[in-house]
Structure 1
Amino acid sequence: MSIILYSLCGAETARPFSPHCWKTVMALRHKGLDFVESPQAFTEIPKVEGGVSKIVPILKDGDTIVSDSFDIALYLEATYPDRPSLFGGEGGMVLSRFVESYGLTMLHMAVTKIAINDIHAMLGPVDQAYFRESREQRLGKPLEDFIATRDAEIAAFPEKFATLRHLLKRQAYLGGESPLFADYILFGALQWLRVTTGSIHLPSGDPVAGWFDRLLDLYDGHARKVA
């Protein structure tokens, strides 16, 4: 039985955009596992697999269902130990948790502020109503208010990658010569930005942009094929 990955999309199923789902897509490709991706609209997710989770990614592997991108990565590592490792050992798991925290605290809110109106435009009418209500409640202001600060957020965005940029001066990936799950965690944030806005908002020649391009080219350019 094929592995099924439930992910997030807007009105176009060919443009899944969740950063957490992209982590899982890259992890599955890294492991060399065959899977079927099933993109879902925001309001359809609670109906998936009997309502097992209100958020994606959701992975179904035979009779096993796992949600949360990091838990899925741990599951894949434990279940398919003969495939390429996502962590390179216990230490890599712990360090990936640090990278996850960095991404959530430093990048995700910035991407939200840059892309929020683009995401709203990608959605169907029912999801637009859900997205507007839930995000305005969470952020405390109308979506339109973020247009006024968008240019400032974009201008400040490259500096958030100063740590990664410093590391990439001496190695190709966070994982060293080849990527690990830690790379896919940060890749997910930039792929989210790329799919929703059409740009990663980093200058040409930036080492982080080069790292992102290398990841886009992996696995027969799977991630790059998403417009």
Structure 2
Amino acid sequence: MSLKLYDLAGAQPERRFSPYCWRIRMALAHKGLEAEVIPWRFSDKAVLAPSGQGKVPVLVHNNKWLSDSWVIANYLEEQFPGHPSLFAGAEGRALSYIYSTLGDFHSGQIVRLVLMDIYKHLADQDKEYFRQSREQRFGMTLEQVVQNRDTQLPVFRDSLFPLRAVLKTQPFFGGDEPLYADYALFGQFQWARCISDFELLAADDPIAHWRTRMLNAFDGLALSAPAY
């Protein structure tokens, strides 16, 4: 078995901050699979040419190149059926896709709170690309995107109400133990934690307590990453 994962890194190779890469790193740990995790930067797009696109995560398994975190999670589930399931059945897979989509939505909110923090951690060769591409996406400067983040924060926290309600009755979105649904949501919070000291969650928030449980999972895999 040969597994390689290309993982987004900042100027410091150990600074990893893709929410989608964190989904897969947690999924690999859940399956008990070891992979060579390779730091990748925006200026390294040519390295991913065999995948047919230019974004991470990219998983390479026995010379097969896969992209997109949901595609990779399903591939791991199908290729390694003798390992713990990421979904706990077909119904769990369908529900996990909902959580994955919800995580995408919240990532779109979080980026407006931490965009300049990401920029500050990038390697010099990535900064021009990042600024141009993100300013084109948002239609304003990076500085303008985050200038009202203190007033945006309560709106973001309020949007987490459905997640908070679930965690009042069970420790994980997967139930008594975490499943891919948890990793799909945790990735966004770990991303922000790795790149910014702007606290997204109040200390007494049930989601903050769940995040702590996730940080401690798999012998503290996420907790050991450079972060704030």
TM value normalised by structure 1? 0.95
Same amino acid, percent of matched pairs: 39
Q: Give the Cα separation in 2 of the matches to 1:102 and 1:212.
A: 16
Q: Which residue of 2 aligns with 1:27?
A: 27
Q: Which residue of 2 aligns with 1:46?
A: 46
Q: Give the Cα separation in 2 of the matches to 1:27 and 1:203.
A: 27
Q: Is contact 1:2–1:62 with CA below 8 Å preserved after alignment? A: yes
Q: Which residue of 2 aligns with 1:182?
A: 181
* Residue identity matched to 1:9: A
Q: Aligned pair in 2 of structure 1 residues 143, 127: CA closer, same or farther (>3 Å)?
A: same
Q: Which residue of 2 aligns with 1:193?
A: 192
Gaps of 5+ in 1: none
Q: Give the Cα separation in 2 of the matches to 1:85 and 1:50.
A: 28
Q: Is contact 1:23–1:187 with CA below 8 Å preserved after alignment? A: yes
Q: Is contact 2:50–2:65 with CA below 8 Å preserved after alignment? A: no
Q: Give the Cα separation in 2 of the matches to 1:226 and 1:52.
A: 29
Q: Which residue of 2 aligns with 1:226?
A: 225
Structure-to-structure mapping, 1:132-143, within 5 angstroms? 132-143=131-142
Q: Give the Cα separation in 1 of the matches to 2:146 and 2:159.
A: 20
Structure-to-structure mapping, 1:32-111, within 5 angstroms? 32-48=32-48, 50=50, 52-105=52-105, 107-111=106-110
Q: Give the Cα separation in 2 of the matches to 1:56 and 1:147.
A: 24
Structure 1 vs Structure 2 CA RMSD = 1.3
- 1:117 equivalent to 2:116? Answer yes
Q: Which residue of 1 aligns with 2:153?
A: 154
* Residue identity matched to 2:33: L
Q: CA deviation at 1:161?
A: 1.4
Q: Give the Cα separation in 2 of the matches to 1:23 and 1:222.
A: 12
* Residue identity matched to 2:169: R
Q: CA deviation at 1:147?
A: 3.3
Gaps of 5+ in 2: none
Q: CA deviation at 1:198?
A: 2.8
* Residue identity matched to 2:46: P
SS in 2 for 1:144: helix
* Residue identity matched to 1:17: F
User: How far does the alpha carbon of each residue in 1:154-203 deviate from its partner, in whole angstroms, 9 at most, with x for none?
Assistant: 23222121111111111111110001101000000101111111354211
Q: Is contact 2:17–2:190 with CA below 8 Å preserved after alignment? A: yes
